[in-house]
Chains A and B, each alone.
Chain A
Amino acid sequence: MSAGGAEAGPDGRSEKIAGGRPRAEKLARDARGATIGTSAQRVGGFERVTGSQRFVADLRLDEVLHVKLVHLECARARIGHVDTTEAARVPGVRMVVTAAELPQPVARFGPGYRDRPLLATGETKYHGEPVAAVVADTVDAASEAVRLVHVEHEQLPAVLTIAAARDERSPLVREPGLRAADDPHRDTNTLTEWRFGWGDVPAAHADHVVEQRYTAASTTHFAIEPHGFLAAPDGAGIAVWSSIQHPYVLQRLIADTLELPLARVRVFAPDPGGGFGGKQHAKYEPLLAVLAMRIGRPLRLVLTLEETFQAVRSPTFEIGIRSGFMRDGTIAFQDIEIDGLLGAYADIGHRVISKSSYLACGPYRVPDARIHVRALLSHTPPATALRGFGSPQMAWAFESQMDEAARQLGFDRLEIRVRNLAHRGEEIVRGAGDTPADGDWAESVRRAADWIGWGDPLPDGHGRGIAVGIKSSATTGASYAIVRLLHDGSAIVLAGTSDMGQGARTVLAQIAGQELGVPIERVSVVMGDTSAAPYDMQTSASRSTVFMGTAVLNACREIRGKLRAMASDTYGVEEDRVVIADGTIHLPDREIDVAELMADALGPMHGEVIGTGSRRGDHVPEHPLGGHAAFYEFSCTASEVAVDRETGEVELLRHVTVSDVGKALNPAHVAMQDEGAAIMGLGQTLMEQLIFDETTGRIQNLGALDYRIPTTKDVPLEMASLVVENEDGPGPYGAKGTGESGLLSTAPAVASAVHDAAGVVIRDLPLTPERIWRALQERDG
């Protein structure tokens, strides 16, 4: 099984630490700053291991007041009289606010639809929606006051499932008055629907048709840092702190909400303690900003873990696929029906559904396709972006379907995939002039198959699976960067990207270091302050290496141009005879370093050289997604498991992900992100689901006790995260983005391995022991 003298430890597992650093990269200490492709030590790592890193909940503002939110214990209720008198009398309480005390009509916000009110108005729409906010001197006083706010309410029937959302008799989640007059769905719980596809599915011929239905439960992000927010009046404007991934989007929202110019709204975005998409868009910042301006004091709201679960989750999916195959195993057509269940407010959930559905056929050659997608509303917490942005759920369906076809047609599961996988340059979405396959995807699959030993004999009760996944990266974007080369030759990078653990600070420092020939220890990165760093549209879709990385690269090139001009002026040399490489200015007759040039050029008054750069991907209105994917994230997962047929428990023996990354600018960071994604994927595959009470809509497993995520003991015995580097990406040095690829294909690979081991097919996530046990019971009668 595992190599090299493994013995069983006290818990029966191999005495081998799986993984670790896949390539023993020594720390890059190249004085010339060439760090691209090396595992430079994390910028900000020192602060994190010493506990000095300040996350938003660690910040202290003078005179701050504390906010706590009031919510009901059911999903949907008509709000009657809210009695705040007892709460207001708690010593230290400054203000108790309900929707009635806010400017009318109550402001609504949201990245796609302006649907979410600052506080629930008239009716609560999900378990956890705030009905009132308490502002007090201490958290204790605020908490006590929350308990004393009496909300008269009448619980109402709630729409909680896809079936209920599709049922015409169900109550409407969204008032028709809030919907566009010409919205064809305004009297339904369908928020919107899409039809993608190409060719002619009804006329397509297939030798064999496979039809199945797959479901994926809603999961939550469970970043270890709960959301936190601060807001403080700042002169004529406001300062807002948030664990937000998109500071500039938030800045615009706050500016609009308070009717302030952007220049008077300062958003501080401390590095989040994990985001995974759950911190992309505003939750309570607008409310906090309004209240801070009203009371004239800084306000602080840090959510509990339970409140965080009530704020962010992934959509629930039900996917029906009817696939046509030819006898030779090639795909003839795909006919796909997708229902995605959003929460009560759209957040960015509708985009999760549309963007992922667009690639519901996967990375394959598909002659004819028809994809019908519905985004449905429900009385549940808003569904939002969650790492993978719906693509893992798509892969769950189309890859499980490939396995089904392989079984029915008698094909090897690896072979049928290789046969259908698109080659570089081939269209995976046809006829739209869309981004074609942009990598040697078969290489990823080959390497995964090799690592897992596909085809090697396995002991009884063991099984193997292999699956692929694909995701569109950013389809639009706008990233701007400023790089300042200081007069001693050190540099500062100003970039609005959010570093939530993926290592953005480090990669940007590496790029600047490489381009300017500055050792990484002499590069500072300023992020998380909209007043300091220029505009960055967002940190999501694994885009930052490509978008912000290019912006930084371009800023450095501008600096090099300015240095050449400076050298030309100062030394009387023609510009094209000045070469800048590795931090050295090569003049015809000698070499000098940057600091020397600056001293000669700027004299004792000093100065600096500033470069700016940007990268934009502009909106393409005719495109269903608003733009072409800048690149695809593609990965292959292979898994080997053992199944205990008596209990249904799955033991994860070996697990590999292979990601097509173009160029790993920092190999260790890429490996860590891939491995982390794989472990998150394993959690979603085997143990994670939000459970809603069927009647009240309450989340039953709220909190760490009953919502289980993987621990050190749930990790596969042996794990590897491999990369394919063909330098074929649109980013610096041929890089693509990564960070989500590791979990795109986890679920179908593991389910495939479970079938291989135990002979049962599961089509619903998560694959809990009980679910597997039931399938075994049903099969064995």
Chain B
Amino acid sequence: MFAYARPKGLSETFALLDAEPEARLLAGGTDLLVGVRKGNVISPLLIDLKRVAELASGISEVDGALRIGANTVLTEVINDRRVQETYPALVAAARVVGSIQIRNRATLVGNLCNASPAADTAPPLLVFGAILELAGPDGRRRVPFADFVTGPGRTLLESGELVTAVELPLPADPVGSAFQRMTRRRGVDLATVNLACAVTSGGVTRFAFGAVGPRAIVVADGTGMLADSKTDPVDVDALIRRMTAEATPISNVRASREYRQAMLLVLSRRALESARERLAEARRGG
């Protein structure tokens, strides 16, 4: 069994972590407590972060970015007008993480720190170039989310360090984005493949693919070919294939490697079309 602590501030949190390096951080608990119950997570101390002042929930505009506090639950992210308008792919992804009951507790930051290769929120954050704010006993730093996850269940957090917020850069010009995923049923499910696509006004297309490797990966096409709806579909396909080549899906109880690879292409095409449409709509002022 574990002990439980409920710090009110970051310095108290750091002190607890320093005293007990095996402690685990508890935010929403929807991953951690499952792990504890199954015996996969064995820890002497759970540190409840929900009352830590510096981690307060809330979404605000700060220095040209939308800042999402660490304790912000997914329901809040989904319902935020600014997130809906500027980052629809993130809303679409967040909406399929678990059920409403899960989303009322699970935090976006927690979802990222859990670092599941199939995390639905990872691909959108990658294509939007999200940045994470980290804080530790030695100070603060900012890292691109693209560097944050280092493997299944692993991040580059140092001992005693935690994430205080996610920042999404606010784009100067419209961006069209879309999220797609494949599941085994239409209801709540883990993804066998998930991906996000973002097309910028400048013609750059980014794809991020999840559940097809140890961590989600992001690739970009700067040629403008994918962003151009008049590009020959054969060339679009060829380009998408090259971009998905970095994915390394595996076969498991949810799906086989071949199916995942095939779905990557099918869903990438669909996401691209959707992203392009949204961009066109945004540029029309719709």
Point out residues on A near B: beta carbons under 8 Å.
140, 147, 646-647, 686-687, 691, 700-701, 705-706, 708, 710-714, 768-770, 773-774, 777
Q: How far is the CA of A711 from the CA of B185 in the complex (A)?
A: 9
Contacts of A140 in B (CB 8 A): 1
Q: How far is the CA of A773 from the CA of B255 in the complex (A)?
A: 12
Q: How far is the CA of A681 from the CA of B254 in the complex (A)?
A: 21
Contacts of B188 in A (CB 8 A): 711, 713
A711 pairs with B187, CB closer than 8 A: yes
Q: Which of A647, A770, A774 neighbours the largest number of chain B CB atoms within 10 Å of its CB?
A: A770
A140-B1, A147-B39 known; A770 vs B187 contact (CB < 8 Å): no
B1 pairs with A708, CB closer than 8 A: no
Q: Which of A140, A691, A773, A774 neighbours the largest number of chain B CB atoms within 10 Å of its CB?
A: A773
B266 pairs with A708, CB closer than 8 A: no
B39 pairs with A701, CB closer than 8 A: no
B184 pairs with A708, CB closer than 8 A: yes
Instruction: Return 22 A-B CB contacts under 8 Å, by A number.
Output: A140-B1, A147-B39, A646-B266, A647-B263, A647-B266, A686-B185, A691-B253, A701-B253, A706-B254, A708-B184, A708-B185, A708-B189, A711-B185, A713-B186, A713-B188, A714-B185, A714-B186, A768-B184, A769-B182, A770-B256, A773-B259, A773-B262
The 6 closest A-B pairs by CB, nearest first: A711-B187, A713-B187, A646-B266, A770-B259, A713-B186, A708-B185
Contacts of A777 in B (CB 8 A): 262
CB distance from B53 to the nearest CB of A (A): 34
Contact indicator per residue, chain B 235-271, by CB within 8 Å of chain A (1) or not (0)? 0000000000000000001111001001100110000
CB distance from B266 to the nearest CB of A (A): 4
Contacts of B263 in A (CB 8 A): 647
Contacts of A705 in B (CB 8 A): 190
Q: How far is the CA of A714 from the CA of B187 in the complex (A)?
A: 6
Contacts of A770 in B (CB 8 A): 255-256, 259
Q: How far is the CA of A140 from the CA of B1 in the complex (A)?
A: 9
Q: Which residue of B lies closest to A689 (CB)?
A: B253
Q: How far is the CA of A714 from the CA of B183 in the complex (A)?
A: 12
Which range holds the interface residue count of chain B?
10 to 19
Contacts of B267 in A (CB 8 A): 647
Q: How far is the CA of A769 from the CA of B254 in the complex (A)?
A: 11
Given contacts A686-B185, A713-B187, A714-B185, 4 further A-B contacts (CB under 8 A): A708-B184, A710-B185, A711-B187, A773-B262
Point out residues on B near A: beta carbons under 8 Å.
1, 39, 182, 184-190, 253-256, 259, 262-263, 266-267
Q: Which residue of B lies closest to A140 (CB)?
A: B1
A700 pairs with B184, CB closer than 8 A: no
A710 pairs with B184, CB closer than 8 A: no
CB distance from B268 to the nearest CB of A (A): 11
Q: How far is the CA of A686 from the CA of B262 in the complex (A)?
A: 20
| Secondary structure call for the B interface | loop
A706 pairs with B39, CB closer than 8 A: no
Contacts of B185 in A (CB 8 A): 686-687, 708, 710-711, 713-714
Q: How far is the CA of A713 from the CA of B259 in the complex (A)?
A: 23
When the two chains form the complex, which single residue of B187, B190, B262, B266 contacts A710, counting CB atoms closer than 8 Å? B187
Q: Which residue of A lies closest to B269 (CB)?
A: A646
Q: Which residue of B lies closest to A306 (CB)?
A: B38
Q: Which residue of B lies closest to A708 (CB)?
A: B185
Contacts of A714 in B (CB 8 A): 185-187
Q: How far is the CA of A687 from the CA of B255 in the complex (A)?
A: 12
Contacts of A774 in B (CB 8 A): 259
Contacts of A711 in B (CB 8 A): 185-188
Contacts of B259 in A (CB 8 A): 770, 773-774
CB distance from A69 to the nearest CB of B (A): 15
Q: Which residue of A lies closest to B193 (CB)?
A: A647
Q: Which residue of B lies closest to A705 (CB)?
A: B190
When the two chains form the complex, which single residue of B184, B256, B266 contacts A687, counting CB atoms closer than 8 Å? B184
Contacts of B39 in A (CB 8 A): 147
CB distance from B158 to the nearest CB of A (A): 31
Q: How far is the CA of A700 from the CA of B254 in the complex (A)?
A: 10
Q: Which residue of B lies closest to A645 (CB)?
A: B266
B186 pairs with A647, CB closer than 8 A: no
Q: Which residue of B lies closest to A706 (CB)?
A: B253
Contacts of A686 in B (CB 8 A): 185
A647 pairs with B190, CB closer than 8 A: no
CB distance from A225 to the nearest CB of B (A): 19
A647-B263, A773-B259 known; A712 vs B187 contact (CB < 8 Å): yes
Q: Which of B39, B185, B259, B263 neighbours the largest number of chain A CB atoms within 10 Å of its CB?
A: B185
Contacts of A712 in B (CB 8 A): 187
Q: How far is the CA of A768 from the CA of B259 in the complex (A)?
A: 12
Contacts of A646 in B (CB 8 A): 266
A710-B187, A711-B188, A768-B184 known; A700 vs B266 contact (CB < 8 Å): no
Q: How far is the CA of A646 from the CA of B193 in the complex (A)?
A: 14
Q: Which residue of B lies closest to A777 (CB)?
A: B262
Q: Which of A140, A147, A691, A768 neighbours the largest number of chain B CB atoms within 10 Å of its CB?
A: A768
CB distance from A644 to the nearest CB of B (A): 9
Q: How far is the CA of A774 from the CA of B260 in the complex (A)?
A: 12
Contacts of B256 in A (CB 8 A): 770
Q: How far is the CA of A322 from the CA of B256 in the complex (A)?
A: 32
Contacts of A713 in B (CB 8 A): 185-188
Q: Which residue of B lies closest to A646 (CB)?
A: B266
Contacts of B253 in A (CB 8 A): 691, 700-701, 706
Contacts of A701 in B (CB 8 A): 253
Contacts of A700 in B (CB 8 A): 253
Contacts of A687 in B (CB 8 A): 184-185
Q: Which residue of B lies closest to A712 (CB)?
A: B187
Contacts of B266 in A (CB 8 A): 646-647
Q: Which residue of B lies closest to A704 (CB)?
A: B188
Q: How far is the CA of A748 from the CA of B254 in the complex (A)?
A: 24
CB distance from B87 to the nearest CB of A (A): 17
CB distance from A85 to the nearest CB of B (A): 21
Q: How far is the CA of A462 from the CA of B256 in the complex (A)?
A: 27
Contacts of A691 in B (CB 8 A): 253
Contacts of A706 in B (CB 8 A): 253-254
CB distance from B179 to the nearest CB of A (A): 14
CB distance from A309 to the nearest CB of B (A): 14
Q: How far is the CA of A701 from the CA of B255 in the complex (A)?
A: 12
Q: How far is the CA of A714 from the CA of B190 in the complex (A)?
A: 15
Q: How far is the CA of A616 from the CA of B39 in the complex (A)?
A: 51
A770-B255, A770-B256, A773-B262 known; A647 vs B187 contact (CB < 8 Å): no
CB distance from A775 to the nearest CB of B (A): 12
Q: How far is the CA of A180 from the CA of B190 in the complex (A)?
A: 49
Q: How far is the CA of A770 from the CA of B182 in the complex (A)?
A: 10
CB distance from A576 to the nearest CB of B (A): 63
Q: How far is the CA of A712 from the CA of B188 in the complex (A)?
A: 10
Q: How far is the CA of A140 from the CA of B182 in the complex (A)?
A: 39
Q: Which of B1, B253, B256 neighbours the largest number of chain A CB atoms within 10 Å of its CB?
A: B253
CB distance from A615 to the nearest CB of B (A): 42
Q: How far is the CA of A691 from the CA of B251 in the complex (A)?
A: 14
Q: How far is the CA of A654 from the CA of B98 in the complex (A)?
A: 27
Q: Which residue of A lies closest to B255 (CB)?
A: A770
Q: Which residue of A lies closest to B263 (CB)?
A: A647
Contacts of B189 in A (CB 8 A): 708
Q: How far is the CA of A339 from the CA of B255 in the complex (A)?
A: 27
Q: How far is the CA of A705 from the CA of B31 in the complex (A)?
A: 12
Contacts of B262 in A (CB 8 A): 773, 777
CB distance from B172 to the nearest CB of A (A): 30
CB distance from A35 to the nearest CB of B (A): 36
Q: Which residue of B lies closest to A771 (CB)?
A: B259
Q: How far is the CA of A774 from the CA of B188 in the complex (A)?
A: 24
Contacts of B1 in A (CB 8 A): 140
A647 pairs with B184, CB closer than 8 A: no
Q: How far is the CA of A708 from the CA of B253 in the complex (A)?
A: 12
B182 pairs with A647, CB closer than 8 A: yes
CB distance from B209 to the nearest CB of A (A): 16
CB distance from B30 to the nearest CB of A (A): 12
Contacts of B187 in A (CB 8 A): 708, 710-714
Contacts of A708 in B (CB 8 A): 184-185, 187, 189
Q: Which residue of A lies closest to B99 (CB)?
A: A711
